[in-house]
Amino acid sequence: MALLLGILLISFITQATLVVPWIDLLYRLKFFKRKTAITASMKDTASTHIRSKARTPEGGGLLIVILTSLVFALILPLLKFFGVNVTHVYPINEEINIIFFTFLSFCLLGLYDDVVKYFELDRDLGYAGLRTRTKFIIQAVLGLIIGALMYFNLHISFIHIPFFGIINLGVWFIPVVAFLIMTFANAVNITDGMDGLAGGLLMISLFGFLLLSVSILDTPISIFIALWLGGLIAFLYFNVFPARIFMGDAGAMAFGATLAVIGLLLGKFVALLIFGAPFLLDGFSSLIQIASVKLTGKRILPIAPVHYWLLKIGWTEPKIVQRAWLAGIMVVVFGLWLAVI
C-alpha cells in the first residue's frame, strides 16, 4: 500500500505541475465550445447555466490519459528492475493490453468528437461532432473487441453476484461487456456537465476499486488506478466550482469505458453497478427523456439529465455536486461491503 500511495503522489505532482501550462495551451488553441445546443431564447436557470460554460477549455481528461499512460510505461519496468514483486491475476501483458486498449481507443474517439466540435469542422453538416448513431456503432465495435479479448485471451466468461454465486455466460459474456462499456462511457460523458461532478464521482469510485485491487493482489491494476487517481485529484483542483477546465469527451469516454473494464477484470460486476450508480442514474434520465420524446412527443422530466433538473428546481451547482459526492461515498461503501461478504 505504501508503494501505491507513493505512485499516487508521483502522479499527482506530475499532473499538478503540467495542468496550468496545459490550460494555457488549450486557451491558445481555443479548445472550447463556441456555442451550445441551448438557444438564447431559453431563459430558465438550467439553460443559462449551460451557456455560461461556453469558452471554458476542455481537455483535462486528455492530459490525464497521456500522463497516466506514459508514467505507467515507466514505472512498471522500474519495479521489475528493482525486484519488486509484481503479482497479477491474469497474464500480465494481456491484462495491460486490454486496459490500455480501452483507455486509449475511447480517448481517441472522444478526442475526434471534441476536435470536430470545438474547431467547428462540422459547421456545414448541420450537427455538432459525430452523429450519435456513428458514435454508438464505433463504441459497440470497440466494446465487442474488448469483450472478445477478455473472453479469448483472459478466459473470462462469468460474472459474480453476491448471494447467488458465479454465473457463467459463455460467449454471451462478449456482448455483455460491450453493453457495459458503452453504457458507462456515455453515462460518465452525460454526467460531466457540472463543475467537479463527474470527476469527483470518478475519484470516489476509483478509491473503492483501488481497495478491491489491493485485496486480490493485482499489482498492474492497482498501479494503474493509483496513477489515474493522482491525475484526477490534480485535475479536480481546477475543475471544482468555478471550473477553469473541463474533462471533455476524450476524458469522459475513456474514463467511463475503463471504469467498466476495471470492474470486470476485478470480477466485481455488482460492485461496478453500485459504484457507478450515480452515473447510471444521470445517463438513464437522459435515455428515458429521449425515448419519451421520440415515442410520445412529450417529456417525462422538465429537463434532463437529473443534475440539470435539480438546477432547474432551485438547487445551486455546488450543492448538487457536493451532495452527489456524499451519495457517491455511501454507494461505494455499500458496494465494498457487498464485495467482501
- Please enumerate, by residue number, every residue annotated as part of a binding site for Mg(2+): 189, 249
- The H or E element spanning position 28 is helix 2-29
Provide the CB-side half-sphere exposure for 13 (13 A, CA).
Answer: 6
Question: Is the bond leading into 305 cis (omega within 30 degrees of zero)?
Answer: yes
| Integer Cα distance of 196 and 236 in angstroms | 6
List residues forming the annotated binding site: 189, 249
C-alpha cell at 38: 441551448
CB count within 10 Å of CB 221 equals 25
| Integer Cα distance of 138 and 142 in angstroms | 6
The three-class DSSP label of residue 40 is: coil
Q: By the 8 A CB rule, do 266 and 213 touch?
A: yes
Taking CA atoms, 88 is separated from 46, 114, 221, 266, 269, in Å, by 47, 35, 8, 11, 19
Eight-state DSSP code of residue 243: P
Q: By the 8 A CB rule, do 18 and 71 touch?
A: no
Q: By the 8 A CB rule, do 177 and 143 touch?
A: yes
279-305 as b/e, with b when 16 or more CB fall inside 10 Å? Answer: bbbbbbbbbebeeeeeeeeeeeeebbb
